[in-house]
Structure 1
C-alpha cells in the first residue's frame, strides 16, 4: 500500500490519525491517508501567509510561466495520474470516447495553459477632464480550496491555477473519497513552486469547516452540495471571506426520440461494459 503525505510549506507531512481510501470498483482499501489536525491547518495557513508577500510581488510574467510549467509537469506524469484516478475515483481506463481517465487529465492540462495565458489588464472606467479611474486586480492573500470527488484533479486546477496566477497562495482540501491524485499532484507542483505557495491537507468535512472559519484564509472556493455551500457561507462571515461557490450541479442529458441508444451508448463505454447499455427509463 503506497504511502501518502500532505504538503505543508513544501514539505511532506504525516499525521498521527489516518482514514482509509477505498477503490469504488472493488471496495478494497487502497491507501491510508493522513487526517490533518487543526494545528496542521494553522501551520499550512501560516506557511501560505509567509509565502504570500514574495509570491504576490513576483512579476506576473513569471507566475504565468510557472503555471505553464505546472501544465507541462502534469502532462509528463499523465499516465501515473490517470492510473490513480481510475484507482480511487472509478473513471475507467477506457471509455469517454476512448479517452478514459485521460479525459480529466487532458482537461486539467488545457485549463492550466489557458489560465497561464490570461491577461490581468487595468480597466479604465473613466478618463476625462474630471477624473481618471482605474481598476487594478490585486491578490487577496490565502485562498482555501475545497474540491469534490467527481473530478478531483480537474476541479482542483479550476480552483488553484487562477489563484496562483493572480498572486495568491493556496491551502487545498480534496474530498476524503479521492485525495490520492491531488496529493500526488501537490508533490509534483511543489517541485516547481516556492515553499508555502501551495499546501494540501486531507481530512473530512470537519477540516473544511475549520478552513471556512479560519481567520487567516481570505477566500474560499468550493465545489459541492448546496447544503454545504450554505454552511460555508455562514462560516465565512467571521472575517467576511470572499466566496466562489459552485453548488448542486445537475449534468442533465437529453436523449431525443430519434437516438438509437443501444447503438450510441457503447461508443462511450469500455468494451467490457458495452452490453450494459440500456435505454434511459423515466
Structure 2
C-alpha cells in the first residue's frame, strides 16, 4: 500500500532505476537498476535449467544447504541489515534489529519443513512430494527480511528454484538476503530481480513461471490471480487485513489496553495483521479509552527510526501518510473523537504522522472498512454480547487475524472459533504468540492458500501417489 516509489530513466543507458529514498529524511540512498525483460528472460531460463538437478537432491541435503545459506546471511549481513532496513523503509532500529534476529532463527522452521517432505506410506501406496518448478517470490517492504524467508525457504526446500523480486521500497535489503543464500546454493537455484510492479507483472504472467508467492495488498493479489489464471499457475498469497480486537466486560483491561496500543502501532501500524478495529464492551468503554490513551501518550515517540528512544518511525511514503490522514479526517468529520495526537518531528521533509487515538468509530467512516496501515488506534463501543462480538468482528471483507480478551477463556474461545480469520489470539496477539508449527492463513480477501507450518509447507509442492501391486492375501 502507498509505496510512492520513484522510477526514473538512467541517462547513461536509458534503463529504469529505482530511486531508493529514506522516508525520514528524503535522502537518496541509492539508485538501483531495474531488471530488463531480456534480463528477466535469462533469469527464468537459468532457473528452469537448474530446477531438475536441485529437485533430485535428497531433501536432507537441500535443507542443510539452506541452513548453510542462513549461516552465511548471519555472517555477512547481521550487523548491516537493521540500519539499512531503517534507512530504506523507516522502521525504528530496535524493531529492525528484532526482525533480523528472529529471521535468522530458522533451524526449527527448516527441520519442520524437512519432516513435512518425507514420503507417507498407505498400505501398498507411497505418497511423495514433487516440486512445482520455477517459483517467483514477490516480497513486501514492511518486513523485508523475514517475509522473503517465509516464502523462499519452503519453496527452495521443496525442490523448486526461485526468483525473488524484493519490494522496490527495500531493494538493497532484499538483495543482501538473496545474495547470501545464492552464494551457498548451486548456480541458478535462487536469483534476484529488481524493479517495480511492471517487473513483477512480467514475471507473474511469464509462461516459464509455475508458481507465484506474494505478500502484499489484497488489490495486488487479485490482480495477480487475474493475470496468471490463464496459465493455471499455483499461488501462495498473503494479503491485507482489517483485524478486529474484541474486549469483553470481564477482560483484564490493563493488559488489553496495552496490547491494543502496542499492536495498532507496531511498525508504525504498517503490518497486515495490525489491530485496526477495537470493539469494547459499552460498560467498560470509557475507562478502556482512558487506559489506551494514557498508555499511548506515555510509551510511543514518533521520529527518525535511527534516533534513540523513537519507537514509531515515518510512514513508508508521503502517499501513505496522506492516506492515513484522509481516513482520520473523514472519521472526525463524521463524529469520531480524537483522544490523543502525539507530537511529530518539526523538521521537514519526512513522511511522519502523529500517533493517534480515535474513539467512537462507526461503520459509515472510511477508517472502519479500509485498511489504514498507519499509527492509529481505532476504538468503538458495542453491547458486549457474544453474538454481537462475532458479528462485528466478521463485518469486513478481510480475515487475516483477530483477538478476543476475556478472563472467561471458554467464552473467548467460543467467539474466537467463529471469527472468520486464519489466526485469533485469546488474551494475546496471535502473531507474537504463535508456535512455529502453525500455518499463517488469510480468509476471504486476506489470502489465497497459505504458508508456514506443515499445512503451509505443503502448498510449495504437489503430492504424488506411487501405487504398487498389493501383496497377495495369505490363505488360511
Equivalent position of 2:92 in the other structure: 92
Equivalent position of 2:107 in the other structure: 113
Which has the bigger relative contact order, CA under 8 A and spacing at least 6? Answer: 1
Equivalent position of 1:143 in the other structure: 135
Deviations along 1:17-50, one digit per CA (max 9) or x if unpaired, are: 3221111111111100111111111111111111
Cα distance in 1 for partners of 2:21, 2:355 equals: 28
Structure 2 unmatched ranges of 5 or more? 1-12, 243-273, 281-287, 312-341, 344-353, 360-476
Give the length in aligned residue pairs: 256
Equivalent position of 2:358 in the other structure: 281
> Of 78, 97, 117, which residue of structure 2 is paired with 1:102?
97
SS class of match (1:152): coil
1:78 is aligned to 2:73: no
Cα distance in 2 for partners of 1:238, 1:159 equals: 23
Cα distance in 2 for partners of 1:169, 1:115 equals: 19
Give the Å deviation of 1:15: 9.0
Tell me which moved more, 269-278 or 44-53: 269-278
Asked if the contact 1:91–1:101 (Cα under 8 Å) also holds between the matched residues in 2, the reply is yes
SS class of match (1:234): helix
1:111-190 → structure 2 map (5 Å cutoff) = 112-118=106-112, 119=115, 120-124=117-121, 126-127=122-123, 132-190=124-182
Equivalent position of 2:275 in the other structure: 252
Asked if the contact 1:15–1:34 (Cα under 8 Å) also holds between the matched residues in 2, the reply is no
Cα distance in 1 for partners of 2:355, 2:45 equals: 52
Equivalent position of 2:54 in the other structure: 55
Asked if the contact 2:82–2:100 (Cα under 8 Å) also holds between the matched residues in 1, the reply is yes
Asked if the contact 2:300–2:310 (Cα under 8 Å) also holds between the matched residues in 1, the reply is no
Cα distance in 1 for partners of 2:310, 2:60 equals: 47
Cα distance in 1 for partners of 2:158, 2:241 equals: 27
CA, structure 1 residues 249+135, in 2 after alignment: closer, same or farther (shift >3 Å)? farther
**TM score, norm. by length of structure 1:** 0.83
Cα distance in 1 for partners of 2:79, 2:308 equals: 20
Asked if the contact 1:149–1:177 (Cα under 8 Å) also holds between the matched residues in 2, the reply is yes
SS class of match (1:280): strand
CA, structure 1 residues 280+104, in 2 after alignment: closer, same or farther (shift >3 Å)? same
Equivalent position of 1:18 in the other structure: 17
Larger Rg: 2
Give the Å deviation of 1:133: 3.6
Give the Å deviation of 1:147: 1.0
Cα distance in 1 for partners of 2:178, 2:71 equals: 14
SS class of match (1:249): coil
SS class of match (2:74): helix
Asked if the contact 1:52–1:169 (Cα under 8 Å) also holds between the matched residues in 2, the reply is yes
1:230 is aligned to 2:230: no
Give the Å deviation of 1:264: 4.3
Cα distance in 2 for partners of 1:62, 1:213 equals: 32
> CA RMSD for the aligned pairs?
2.4
Asked if the contact 2:164–2:178 (Cα under 8 Å) also holds between the matched residues in 1, the reply is no
Cα distance in 1 for partners of 2:14, 2:56 equals: 33
